[in-house]
């Protein structure tokens, strides 16, 4: 991934001269198709946005010498948001604040179900969501790669890069104590960019629609089109106890947009893998995606069964279930994408063509990549699921954690043990706290039993080891659960406060705990550790090969590509556009409120309370909010822009840079976007601004909020 070539002068910030942008090798990282690409801001001068349809100067979008729309963008937790007022209002997705709302909800005040509207600032609810604003960035590739040459081993290369990054970050933090510093790898082992962020930690809920609106369609519609959910919310960010005044905010266009109109998005897309070798895609298809999708389905089932009809428990699990559901459906979409497209075959053909041009010595790169991914595949089930079990079962993790250190401590003298525990006390407490999670005893046991059943089903050595120790042949989840039930009922390892306090106050006593569970978990951990170590070593070797592969591409091909997304600020553009997801099926790019009325049910994913349905039926909305042909308020919108995770909450902007929607999803066929983009099936989904305004004005009568946004209907 590449933002700035190491051959160029460093970036000093968003407010520097644009002439410092990219040169040399960057030319080979440009897209063949304009619609594809999550462009780093430094590459915008390479893109003809005016010809594509932009009606404002590019300097209004990104202006290194002054203020532009870029200054209105924020990274809100793991999502994107944008300022929509001069008083710190930020619009983002409902699902981006879902957990925060659930945390404030109870059976008495169920803001998740009923929605929330703070009529003045005194009613706003605080969250723990961090808000980051990109203030500057610069290329630090030469500094990060200092001390590395062609003879540096993979392991030493990794250590040197980590050491250099730590030193550069420390120096930056000293020079800029008011900024959060992050060095992002823009292309594995080759290009690095240092980002400076202004961190604001006082984010408060202002407006959240009821779940029946914000999550309408639930998991049935997740990653699907057509969509009718109002996936938006509004928060306000504060600095020093006062509403933050942004350098720039985005003006709302209440009239929305039309089919085939030019649109663009700015935001913080998460990760894409478009420059990884074909072997990586095969690993995803055959191992990671199916393992995690099946496992997360089971974890969701366990949580839903445990919650039953209890409202408070459902609210407590809501965020966790939503997160698991989002991942598993995404992974299933990717698996479908691999089946229905030739993405892997295309990637392999490109590699074969490149390999044919290389010398015999250069071909060693391809041989090594094949060799190392063969080991990754062999280790995948044990390493991936072994760690998943330890993460999902706090009881089993505690037993493994005790076993991990108890043998080491037992070999020491009393004085040595005391000295070692005192010296490592803080790191031990931190390590334990990071991974020790308990929902409750029942869920914890079910997670362990079902995780172990996955290992056994896939013929895992780890699974067989535990089954043998439990003296069970061909165990399934139910049998494992029944067999281990007494251990989970009796153990103190499920008492979160007790275990954390014991480690903190008396670590010697903590590590003296034993029993059958510690014996089994210890054997499990002992068998997993060498596999995990090899996994890490092999991935380090692969990381050392990737820059070599990129160098060969630059040398032998004229392939044009742009950097993979990595959570840093990007721009993508395209058009409001429908598509054909399957033969003879055309999807219109807009949905309307009529579709909500058609789908509405008294329960389930399409639940819509009668009082809201009545408002939908009876309200006469402002003409600006209606679809020009269907005479109904526009709800959802579809476009061919290039987005991925992290773009949730990104503003959808028209040719004049006005807000016309909020991005929240991709079509099911577009989940494959993380590996490859294609105009025929890659579509992203947003909530239309017309529906946002309709809900605010007519569902909650939030006129004061609309006034603050400079919107008049």
Mean pLDDT of 642-664: 95
How far does CA 401 lie from the centroid of its chain? 28
- Distance from the first to the final alpha carbon of the chain: 44
CA distance 227 to 707: 28
Non-local (6+) Cβ contacts of 360 within 8 A are none
Preceding amide of 317 cis, omega within 30: no
φ/ψ (deg, to 5) at 71: -70, -10
Q: Distance between CA 268 and CA 354 in Å, rounded?
A: 32
Question: Which of 590, 706, 624, 569 lies closest to 91, judged by CA?
Answer: 706
* Whether the Cβ atoms of residue 357 and residue 527 lie closer than 8 Å to each other: no
Q: What would the mean pLDDT of 579-606 be, rounded to a whole number?
A: 88
- Answer whether residue 81 shows pLDDT above 60: yes
CB 616 within 8 A of CB 597: yes
| C-beta neighbour count of 709 within 10 angstroms | 24
| CATH number among 3.10.450, 2.40.10, 1.25.40, 2.40.160, domain 570-702 | 2.40.10
Residue located via tokens 């445990």:
306
User: Among residues 573, 557, 584, which one has the least CA distance to residue 679?
Assistant: 573
pLDDT at position 560: 56
Mean per-residue pLDDT of the chain? 90
Say if residues 134 and 73 touch (Cβ distance below 8 Å): yes
Q: How confident is the model at residue 9 (pLDDT cuts 50, 70, 90)?
A: very low
Q: Is pLDDT above 70 for 25?
A: no
Element (H, E) at 502: helix 496-505
Is the Cα torsion angle 109, 111, 116, 121 positive or negative in sign?
A: positive
Q: Which of the 8 DSSP states describes residue 68?
A: -
* Alpha-carbon torsion, ordered 91, 94, 96, 100, to 10 deg: 110
- Indicate the pLDDT class of residue 559, thresholds 50, 70 and 90: low
Return the residue matching tokens 């985005």: 250
Q: Render pLDDT for 513-555 as a digit per residue (tens, 0 to 9).
A: 999 999 999 999 999 999 999 999 999 999 999 989 988 988 8
CB 217 within 8 A of CB 599: yes
Provide the pLDDT confidence category of residue 403 given band limits of 50, 70 and 90.
very high
Cα separation values, 272 from 29, 134, 222, Å: 15, 21, 20
Residue 307 CA to residue 322 CA, distance in Å, equals: 14
Measuring CA to CA, which residue among 209, 202, 207, 82 is closest to residue 134?
82
675-704 residues labelled b (16+ CB within 10 A) or e (exposed): bbbbeebbbbbbbbbbbbbbbbbbbbebee
Nearest to 644, CA basis, from 326, 277, 348:
326
Cβ neighbours of residue 212 under 8 Å, at least 6 residues apart?
A: 113, 607, 608, 609, 612
Residue 125 above 80 pLDDT? Answer: yes
SS3 track for 146-165: CCCCCCCCHHHHHHHHHHHH
Residue 408 is predicted with a pLDDT of 87
Q: Phi first, then psi: give them for residue 626, nearest 5 degrees.
A: -85, 150
pLDDT > 90? residue 224: no
Residues 6+ apart with CB under 8 A from 375: 534, 538
- pLDDT band at residue 561, thresholds of 50, 70 and 90? low
pLDDT score, position 453: 93
The pLDDT tens digits for 342-352 are 889 999 999 99
What pLDDT, on the 0 to 100 scale, is given for residue 189? 84
The domain limits of the chain are: 278-544, 570-702
In three-state secondary structure terms, 196 is strand
pTM of the model: 0.81
CA dihedral 147, 151, 154, 157 (to 10 degrees): 0
Distances, alpha carbon 500 to alpha carbons 26, 327, 493, in Å: 51, 30, 10
Determine the distance from the C-alpha atom of residue 598 to the mean position of all C-alpha atoms in its chain, rounded to a whole number. Answer: 32
- Collapse the DSSP code of 13 into the 3-class scheme (helix H, G, I; strand E, B; otherwise coil) and give the result: coil
DSSP bridge partners of 236: 89, 204
What distance in Å separates the CA atoms of residue 713 and residue 697, rounded to the nearest whole number? 9
Residue-level pLDDT at 30: 38
Helix ranges (DSSP H) in 37-153: 49-52, 58-61, 98-104, 111-114, 141-144
pLDDT over threshold 50, residue 616:
yes
Spell out a b/e string for 409-447, using b for 16 or more CB atoms within 10 Å of the CB, else e: beeeeeeebeebbeeeeeebeeebeeebebbebbbbbbb
- Cα–Cα dist 120/123, whole Å: 6
pLDDT at 376 over 70: yes
- In this structure, the dihedral spanned by the alpha carbons of residues 678, 681, 687 and 689, taken in order and rounded to 10 degrees, is 60
Average pLDDT score over residue span 472-497: 92
Q: Is the pLDDT of residue 78 over 50?
A: yes
pLDDT tens-digit map of 297-323: 999 999 999 999 999 999 899 889 988
Backbone angles phi, psi at 191, to 5 degrees: -130, 135
- Residue 339 predicted with pLDDT over 50: yes
User: Which element (helix H / strand E) includes 478?
Assistant: helix 477-490
Region of residue 691 (left: phi > 0; alpha: psi -120 to 50; beta: else)? alpha
| Residue 15 pLDDT grade (very low, low, confident, very high; cuts 50, 70, 90) | very low
Q: What percentage of the chain has pLDDT greater than the value 70?
A: 94
For residue 12, is pLDDT > 60? no
């Amino acid at each position: 991934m590449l933002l700035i070539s190491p051959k160029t002068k460093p970036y000093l910030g968003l407010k520097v001269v644009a002439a410092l942008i990219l040169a040399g090798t960057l030319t080979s990282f440009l897209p063949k198709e304009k619609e594809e690409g999550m462009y780093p801001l430094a590459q915008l001068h390479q893109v003809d946005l005016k010809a594509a349809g932009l009606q404002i100067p590019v300097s209004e979008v990104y202006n290194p010498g002054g203020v532009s729309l870029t200054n209105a963008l924020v990274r809100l937790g793991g999502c994107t948001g944008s300022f929509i007022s001069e008083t710190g209002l930020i619009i983002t997705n409902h699902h981006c604040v879902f957990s925060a709302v659930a945390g404030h909800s109870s059976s008495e005040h169920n803001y998740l179900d009923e929605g929330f509207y703070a009529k003045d600032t005194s009613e706003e609810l605080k969250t723990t969501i961090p808000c980051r604003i990109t203030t500057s960035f610069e290329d630090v590739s030469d500094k990060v790669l200092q001390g590395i040459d062609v003879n540096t081993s993979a392991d030493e290369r990794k250590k040197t890069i980590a050491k250099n990054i730590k030193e550069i970050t420390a120096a930056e933090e000293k020079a800029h104590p008011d900024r959060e510093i992050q060095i992002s790898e823009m292309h594995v082992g080759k290009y690095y960019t240092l980002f400076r962020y202004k961190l604001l930690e006082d984010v408060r809920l202002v407006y959240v629609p009821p779940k029946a609106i914000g999550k309408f369609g639930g998991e049935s519609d997740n990653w699907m089109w057509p969509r009718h959910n109002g996936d938006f919310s509004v928060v306000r960010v504060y600095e020093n106890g006062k509403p933050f005044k942004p350098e720039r905010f985005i003006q709302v266009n209440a009239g929305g947009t039309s089919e085939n109109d030019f649109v663009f998005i700015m935001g913080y897309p998460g990760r894409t893998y478009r420059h990884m070798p074909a072997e990586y895609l095969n690993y995803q298809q055959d191992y990671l995606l199916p393992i995690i999708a099946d496992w997360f389905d089971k974890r969701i089932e366990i949580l839903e069964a445990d919650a039953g009809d209890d409202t408070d428990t459902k609210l407590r699990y809501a965020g966790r279930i939503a997160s698991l559901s989002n991942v598993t459906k995404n992974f299933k979409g990717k698996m479908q994408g691999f089946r229905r497209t030739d993405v892997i075959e295309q990637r392999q053909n490109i590699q074969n063509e490149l390999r044919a041009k290389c010398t015999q010595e250069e071909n060693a790169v391809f041989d090594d990549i094949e060799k190392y991914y063969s080991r990754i595949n062999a280790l995948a089930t044990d390493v991936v699921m072994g760690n998943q079990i330890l993460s999902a079962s706090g009881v089993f993790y505690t037993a493994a954690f005790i076993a991990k250190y108890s043998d080491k401590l037992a070999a020491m003298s009393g004085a040595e043990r005391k000295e070692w525990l005192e010296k490592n006390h803080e790191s031990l407490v931190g390590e334990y706290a990071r991974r020790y999670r308990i929902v409750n005893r029942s869920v914890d046991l079910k997670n362990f039993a079902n995780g172990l059943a996955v290992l056994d089903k896939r013929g895992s050595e780890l699974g067989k080891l535990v089954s043998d120790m439990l003296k069970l042949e061909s165990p399934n989840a139910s049998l494992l659960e029944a067999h281990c039930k007494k251990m989970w009922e009796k153990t103190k390892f499920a008492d979160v406060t007790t275990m954390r306090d014991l480690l903190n106050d008396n670590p010697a006593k903590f590590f003296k705990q034993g029993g059958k569970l510690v014996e089994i978990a210890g054997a499990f951990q002992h068998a997993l550790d060498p596999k995990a170590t090899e996994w890490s070593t092999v991935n380090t070797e692969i990381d050392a090969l990737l820059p070599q592969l990129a160098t060969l591409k630059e040398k032998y091909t004229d392939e044009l590509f742009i950097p993979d997304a990595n959570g840093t600020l990007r721009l993508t553009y395209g058009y409001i556009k429908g598509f054909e997801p399957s033969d003879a099926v055309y999807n219109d790019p807009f949905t309307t409120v009529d579709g909500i009325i058609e789908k509405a049910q008294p329960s389930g994913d399409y639940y819509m309370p009668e009082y809201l349905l009545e408002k939908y039926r009876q309200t006469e909305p402002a003409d600006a909010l209606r679809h020009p042909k269907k005479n109904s308020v526009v709800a959802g919108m579809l476009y061919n822009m290039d987005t991925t995770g992290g773009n949730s909450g990104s503003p959808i902007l028209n040719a004049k840079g006005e807000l016309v929607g909020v991005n929240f999803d991709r079509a099911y066929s577009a989940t494959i976007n993380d590996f490859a983009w294609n105009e025929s099936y890659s579509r992203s989904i947003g909530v239309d601004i017309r529906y946002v305004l309709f809900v605010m004005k007519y569902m909650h009568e939030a006129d004061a909020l609309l006034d603050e946004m400079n919107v008049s209907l």
